[in-house]
Amino acid sequence: MCVFCLQTCVKAAHALPQTVKIVEVGPRDGLQNEKTVVPTEAKINLINMLSESGLPVIEATSFVSPKWVPQMADQVEVMQGISKKPGVSYPVLTPNLKGFQAAVSAGASEVAIFGAASELFSKKNINCSVEESLQRFEEVMKAAKEAAVPVRGYVSCVVGCPYEDRLYSMGCYEISLGDTIGVGTPGSMTKMLEAVTKEVPVSALAVHCHDTYGQALANILIALQVSVVDSSVAGLGGCPYAQGASGNVATEDVVYMLHGLGIKTGVDLSKLMDAGAFICRTINRKTSSKVAQATCKL
Amino acid sequence: QYKYRKIPLCYMEIVPTRVKIQLIDMLSATGLCVIEATSFVSSKWVPQMADHTDVVKGIQRVPHVQYPVLTPNIQGFQDAVAAGATEVAVFGSASETFSRRNINCSISESILRFEEVISAAKDRQIPVRGYVSCALGCPHEGHIEPSQVAEVAKKLYEMGCYEISLGDTIGVGTPGSMFKMLQTVMNDVPISALAVHCHDTYGQALPNILTALQMGVSVVDSAVAGLGGCPYAQGSSGNVSTEDVLYMLHGMGIETGVNLDKVIETGDFICNALGRRTNSKVAQARSRTL
């Protein structure tokens, strides 16, 4: 295992992408898990600041029921309030057809669907079985195809990836593979990608690593045949339904690493840090980004 | 097989001697094979290490575990040997300015001092480890050329240091700069004699260690609970946590001989004793899921 992993690592080290697309999930995945309900105006300001930093994709909000995720109750106002920058995508989460329709009415031009890791996780997180969730997604996919709206799929891959191939064959243009509770290491990441790339081309994959065990950057590094990385400004948020799961990887720390590797992201780190500082002040919490912390100290 | 080293405490409040001794004894029971115990520097410069003799005499030495101590000059070396030390370390820098501010002399002056130490150590068959700080950047000079690192590393190795630990003292390195630096140093020092000492100030320590492993490095320095930093590099904090390093290595199927649970326990002990939170994400995650 050790020798295999390191050999794969060495191979990977020579095949780094020239550009990595960062998918900023702070405004949705991040804020969704913050206890303080963030005022709509602050969310809009955050998204606008992130747009100015050069991020190409910013997940703006979630069209789930406010009963489940009160933080996202202002989904329509947010969608309609942000200044959409040309060339930047603002996908929104849509768990079902109703959410999709509401999203499109509010002006969304890209959506995302979120598959669960296991039956238990599915029940707790989206209140239905895995098969039921896939049927809902089929409905969303059909409607999205008709409206020419691209769909991104999220899969939680803690114990292997259950159905990333189904989401891809349904029509998701990209599948984000999530280490939802952050337990992965470069060892498990390598194995997981080996298995997934047999079913889905690497160009259609993204990684969504949590930093709960401090492994996120190492996992992202090892995954870098994949050229799309999800992260959250200031390391905001986690998953409210996976006990103990917290700590999205901080976008600032990811960008610092990628730029140090000579990989282009299009992101201005300094403007990104401004956005992080803003949201942390607003919700009165310390940033989880080490780069931001270090920069403040110097 | 990978070796782990606990590095000395650099902490504001003076830690009682008995706490340091207990910490080292607990670390000895985890499977770590090298534990850097203390530093025979002048207590004027590093008051935290004033009790160096008491610490070396007080710890319970476990067979097959090494307890090196820092010795910046011949005086320190002699005191260390008198106290019972059986391995020492010398601490050089790739940055001229950092050398002057950290150990109050130029790089070439420091090399002369180390030569004395290494010569005396050879006479007594005491192994010497060399550190090169600012390997990936300097708080005063900024960018450091890999060739500067290689020059100092080569000198220390040729003088007789059995191992050279390359330190990212202010944690600014990334896998990119780690790769370039190691590529250059490897021309002058065999990879088997190299170690990495990464700081996590910018969150880059684990990917940097991973890069070093990919290049063949098999010795990693880390600190339980991510304690410490450097009192001489403004803003520098955050040694990488031993717990987080172990988690990564074990997840990759790499053997270390170290029991992660015992290290976490030791981290809990020292953090309670110091009244501070652990910097280890693994330790934090484990305490949340209990």
| pLDDT tens string A46-61 | 999 999 999 999 999 9
- Nearest CB among B202, B211, B282 relative to A214 is that of B282
Mean pLDDT for the stretch of residues A166-195: 92
Task: Calculate how close chain A gets to B245, using CA atoms only, in Å.
Answer: 9
Residue B102: pLDDT band (50, 70, 90) is confident
Assess B171–A contact: CB distance below 8 Å, yes or no. Answer: yes
The three-class DSSP label of residue B59 is coil
Q: Which residues on chain B are in Cβ contact (under 8 Å) with A256? A: 174, 202-204
CB contact under 8 A, A257 and B175: yes
CA atoms within 13 A on the CB side of A254: 35
Instruction: Check A172, A209, A239, A280 and give the catalytic one.
Output: A239
Q: How far apart are the first and last CA of chain B?
A: 31
Enter the CATH code of domain A21-296: 3.20.20.70
Q: Is the model's pLDDT at A5 over the cut of 70?
A: no
CB contact under 8 A, B251 and A297: no
Mean pLDDT for the stretch of residues B30-45: 91
Bigger pLDDT: A157 vs B83: B83
Q: Which residues on chain A are in Cβ contact (under 8 Å) with B174? A: 256-257, 259-261
Q: Is A6 exposed, middle or buried (0-12, 13-18, 19+ CB in 10 A)?
A: buried
pLDDT at residue B237, rounded to an integer: 59
- Strand runs (DSSP E) across chain A, as ranges? 21-24, 57-58, 61-62, 92-93, 111-114, 151-156, 174-179, 205-209, 228-231
Model pTM? 0.93
Q: Is the model's pLDDT at B232 over the cut of 50?
A: no
pLDDT at residue B9, rounded to an integer: 41
Q: Which residues on chain A are in Cβ contact (under 8 Å) with B238? A: 290
CB contact under 8 A, B204 and A213: no
Q: Is the model's pLDDT at B203 over the cut of 70?
A: yes
Q: Where are the domains of chain A?
A: 21-296
Q: What pLDDT, in 10s, does the model give residues A60-94?
A: 999 998 888 889 999 999 999 999 999 999 999 99
Q: Which of B12, B3, B5 is nearest to B228 (CA)?
A: B12
CA angle B177, A287, B208 (to 5 degrees): 20
Task: Calculate how close chain A gets to B130, using CA atoms only, in Å.
Answer: 27
| Structure ipTM | 0.91
Bigger pLDDT: B145 vs B13: B145
Q: Is the model's pLDDT at B21 over the cut of 80?
A: yes
Closest residue in chain A to residue B279, using alpha carbons only: A214
Assess B1–A contact: CB distance below 8 Å, yes or no. Answer: no
Residue A243: pLDDT band (50, 70, 90) is low
Mean pLDDT for the stretch of residues B19-36: 96
Task: Calculate how close chain B gets to A106, using CA atoms only, in Å.
Answer: 38
Q: Is the model's pLDDT at A7 over the cut of 60?
A: no
Mean pLDDT for the stretch of residues A187-200: 93
Residues 6+ apart with CB under 8 A from B58: B17, B18, B21
Average pLDDT of chain B, as a whole number: 91
Residue A160: pLDDT band (50, 70, 90) is low
pLDDT at residue B287, rounded to an integer: 82
Task: Calculate how close chain B gets to A219, using CA atoms only, in Å.
Answer: 8
Q: Is the model's pLDDT at B32 over the cut of 50?
A: yes
pLDDT at residue B106, rounded to an integer: 96
Residue B276: pLDDT band (50, 70, 90) is confident
**In chain B, which residue ranges form alpha helices assigned H by DSSP?**
17-28, 52-58, 74-83, 96-103, 107-123, 146-159, 175-185, 205-214, 242-251, 260-274, 281-289
Q: Is the model's pLDDT at A297 over the cut of 90?
A: no
Residues 6+ apart with CB under 8 A from B52: B38, B39, B40, B69, B79, B80, B83
Q: Which domains does chain B have, with CATH numbers?
A: 76-221 (3.20.20.70), 224-279 (no CATH)
Q: What pLDDT, in 10s, does the model give residues B140-167?
A: 999 999 999 999 999 999 999 999 999 9
Average pLDDT of chain A, as a whole number: 89
